Amino acid sequence: MALQPGRWTAELDGDFVVFLIGAAVHDPSAHPDAVRLLQAMREMLVELASDPSHGLLSFQVYGDVGGVIVQYWRSFDALEAYARNPSAKHAPVWREWNRLAEGDRAGAGIWHETFKVSAGDYESVYQNMPVMGLQRAGRPLTVTEARDSARTRLGS
């Protein structure tokens, strides 16, 4: 990835959602099934990236099992519609994961956090980094174009 020299920020039109998701394998006996299901997440991301109408704006994967995937969505409704769509890749994996982790079979865990962000109620800075995060979901701007401090970028 090519670096953008200097200080940059991001601009995104309208409200959006940040969705963080990660998993962990606690019991080696659950490892093969858990890893297979976690690899399906990459297939879901390919499915989502291939059709912008799903509402996924951008994503970034950090680490492997035990890492986190940061996703930027146009809305919570779009995120929920994909998660519950029976013909999408997510629904069958979700059901199988829940079976893997239910009852006394707690060999693997998953977590997610969802944040609804109102237009303009966010701030970011990227210094000597490739285009990433909110910049990929929206537009990169130099810090000078957007205002020089976090407080002013937030309009405070």
Q: Which amino acid is at 149?
A: S
Could you give the domains of the chain? Answer: 3-11+120-153 (no CATH), 16-117 (3.30.70.100)
- pLDDT tens, 112-127? 999 999 999 999 999 9
Is the pLDDT at 67 greater than 90, yes or no? Answer: no
**β partners of residue 69:** 21, 61
CA distances from 132 to 53, 129, 148, 153 (A): 21, 8, 19, 18
Regarding predicted confidence, which is higher, 150 or 104? 150
**Count of CB atoms situated within 10 Å of the CB of 59:** 20
Q: Is 6 left (phi over 0), alpha (psi -120 to 50) or beta?
A: left
Contact between 106 and 24 under an 8 Å Cβ cutoff? The reply is no
CA dihedral 143, 148, 154, 156 (to 10 degrees): -170
pLDDT band at 11 (very low <50, low <70, confident <90, very high): very high
In angstroms, the CA 115 to CA 117 distance is 6
Q: Is the overall model pTM greater than 0.85, yes or no?
A: yes
Position 12 scores a pLDDT of: 95
- pLDDT tens, 135-151? 999 999 998 876 777 77
CA distances from 112 to 24, 31, 57, 86, 89 (A): 12, 20, 18, 20, 18
